[in-house]
Amino acid sequence: MGPACDSDSCRIPFGLGVGNNNSPVGVFISFSKGRITEIDVEFGENYWDEITPVLDRKYGASWNVEQDPNFLITDLETKKSVTVEWITLTHRPNGTNRRTGDACMIWVVNYDVIFRHHDPLGPYHSVFAIKLVSDNF
């Protein structure tokens, strides 16, 4: 499935890259009344160690860390499961647009769902997200 948009979102499932090594990503953008309200960047979990330092450099290394050493992911086709360590990083100061004063939540998770994926990004996806939480205009 290629890029697709509807009245309040667009999804580019693959074909983009980020970071110094052009790591492959998919992007989901949500908007309301012509204004972006959320950006989700999906990438293969195998790029976690490459992309998280990029986020530290961009936003600062101030993250609240949640971990679950027994997170279960199931392949719906084979019905087999694997246990992984699930990590969620939520940026402590979040983000504020210097120009508009709008506030955003910023977080990243190393495994996005409890099911195994079957797409070009690989079987396990990580997600970096920025979501608008307040308007100041």
φ, ψ (nearest 5 deg) of residue 93: -80, 0
Alpha carbon 68 to its chain's center: 18
User: Could you tell me the residue ranges of all domains in the chain?
Assistant: 4-134
pLDDT of residue 33: 85
pLDDT of residue 1: 63
The structure's pTM equals: 0.86
Closest CA to 122 of 131, 132, 130, 112: 112
DSSP string for residues in 9-35: EEEEEEEEEETTTTEEEEEEEEEETTE
| 3 vs 43 pLDDT, higher one | 43
Quote the mean pLDDT of the chain. Answer: 89
Is the four-CA dihedral 93, 22, 121, 26 of positive or negative sign? Answer: positive
pLDDT of residue 87: 96
